[in-house]
Amino acid sequence: MALLYVAILCLLTVVSSVEVVPEDQPRVIHAGTTFGLRNYSSILTVPNGEKFGIWMWSELCPENFYATGFSLRIESNQYGSDDTALNGIRLFCVQNEDRRFIYSVESHTG
């Protein structure tokens, strides 16, 4: 009988953790390195940086998606310490003209 209670409790825990999102609302899915092996045609670079830190893996939008926006993780002035400023980026990727389904692709943050 105790085993039955444990099984029911586990089932209720799983069911209560499932998020139901209406189809007309955007969903954010963290893509991670899932799409890192995609082909790409260009790389964004900056002339005043790329001196500090270690570059991690590439972050790309899924196939047939494109980036429509981004947000940055920026560290404030460290007054002589590690003034790298930009510590992470998040891309917002949408599919075609339909913006109801959104991927959020995040870089490693330092």
Over residues 49-76, the pLDDT tens digits come to 666 666 667 777 878 888 888 888 887 7
Strand partners, 102: 28, 94
Q: Is 12 a residue whose pLDDT tops 60?
A: no
Q: Is 36 a residue whose pLDDT tops 60?
A: yes
Q: Is the dihedral of CA 97, 98, 100, 101 positive or negative?
A: negative
Per-residue pLDDT at 67: 83
Q: Is 21 a residue whose pLDDT tops 50?
A: no
Strand partners, 73: 88
Q: Is 53 left (phi over 0), alpha (psi -120 to 50) or beta?
A: left
107/98 Cα distance (integer angstroms): 24
